[in-house]
Structure 1
Amino acid sequence: MKKLLNQVETYVDDLLEGMVAAHSALRRIPGTQVLVRAAKGNKVALVSGGGSGHEPAHGGYVGSGMLDGAVAGEVFTAPTPDQILAAIQAVDSGAGVLLVIKNYTGDILNFEMAAELASAEGIQVEQVVVDDDVAVDGSTYTVGRRGIAGTVFVHKIAGAAAEAGQPLAVVKAIAERVIANVHSMGMALCPCTVPASGQPSFQLADDEIEIGIGIHGEPGTHREPLRAASEIVDTLFEHIWASAGLASGDKVAVLLNGLGATPQSELYIANRRLRALLTARNLDVHKTFVGEFMTSLEMAGFSISILKLDEELKRLLDAPANTPAWKS
């Protein structure tokens, strides 16, 4: 294993300290793996999180217009309930807290436990579960569809609603509307290596690709021979189209997400084909985001997320945001 680290045991602590050192708008709660805004807001607060290794998610989305707090577990490991509770306590201003959870069994159990503890303290807590991955209906980590890069759209749009002063029930309803309308799928050219294991999460031959991977290094639905980028995009898009219920004339936002080791040039090559497919189906592309938004350590590959927009979701997507990883 060849990685830039000091000790495996301090991997998460070191990365969090490095983030705080780079971004003055972030503050780490002492004794925790929680990042919050340096300035607390007087509004509904959003908290998300999960295992580390997905950077810039989730700490990179803490800031104006998006999250108020992010909880980092160990690499690909759900954060513990006490850490999540510390985040809820730190960001609550009396207006309530919305938890944005990706659909993985450990995340759901621990976030729900923390929500119960916070509610016992008199904090109003609601939660939503993101399940945008159309590749699987149950896997190593979850029952039902996994939450992957489409979660970033939930952070952005629900965060904008909270920033605008909407009450907790409204922010939750908007988040649920995003979840119902975002669909994603990914692929890998090569696996990643979790520092604690020191071994690749799966093996691929030089001429193989993995279709339908998750974001924790888990294998996908099947393997195929390596093909042209356009053909790979076709495969992912057709799965999304079959699940998303899109129709000619729909307005959409697109997020083409690198998984950690894919050159920007290759992401744009993939996006070239994706735009052609969207145009051929007469979809109105409002915005396209290309880059690394939710990674899987150094996995090479990408995912596509397509969000169907209505006028309110469009306005909230366009609203200002200022975080380390998203500025608009």
Structure 2
Amino acid sequence: MAKTPISAPAPLELPGAAADLVAEATRWLAYLRSERRLSPKTLEAYTRDLRQCLAFLNEHWDAQVSIKRFAALEAGDIRAFMACRRADEIGGRSLMRALAGLRSFGRFLEREGKGKVGALSAIRAPKVGKSLPKPIQIAGAKRLADASERAGENREPWIWARDAAVMALLYGSGLRISEALGLKRRDVPLPGKGDTLIVTGKGNKTRMVPVLQNVLSLIQDYVAVCPHPLPPQGPIFVGARGGPLSPRIIQLTMERLRGALGLPDSATPHALRHSFATHLLSRGGELRAIQELLGHASLSTTQIYTGIDSERLFEVYKTAHPRA
């Protein structure tokens, strides 16, 4: 079988692995990056999981892990690795991701004619309890987008305006924080000049989302007072020194506001996206339309919000019904 044509990046650091396995692991990650277009965070997690697995196997076998040795993995070896990770109090979701990454690497080796790692497919994925996202109440979500709520903070007014605009965009259009901060100034219409945005989501996939006029007005208010140049091809949201705005800044802003507004710890920037979906659904929004707005590849991902809405309905029932 012909090898997949992949450019050769710098070799990975994989203690306990032989040179041939390091070379194939490096090519595998390059393939995931260039062909599968996985996100940097997923690639980082897969690299970490593979490094931990190989370090464990190196100690488990007391020998370097070569391609031949890795292909001869037995189910007991994988179970021992998973048990070791469990002992470190790693959750089921992280274990499931680690197993998915190792299976992906095994399939890559098989396609490249390096042997079949049958043990990986024989292991059942760990059970993961379903946890529903925790949306923010409508009143709280609106207050997060109010610049006047930040007036007591020891920061410049243009930063208050910027943070309010970002929060309003996350809630008003259901964007991921990376999507909001990835917007260029040319991507955002002026108030009254448009009502949609083209955003780039996971896997560099683009989609069109609606944007409210009051959100565009908040963004324009921020642009008008921002002391840094905002060229059309540059990011519309910038940090204190004029560079791209870090997601961590918005996360810290949310942490400060939680206390001031009496919001729970679950109130994060991403919770605004959950709130967007939940509030649309509770007001009659169609699940398929919400899937498109959120940029979910699968409808099953969006269906989790029906669970949230059911919880809300049952709470209403229990508190309002005379016989409850």
**Which TM-score applies when normalising by structure 2?**
0.30
Please identify which structure carries the higher strand content: 1
TM-score where L is the length of structure 1: 0.30
Higher relative contact order (CA 8 A, sep 6+): 1
Higher helix share: 2
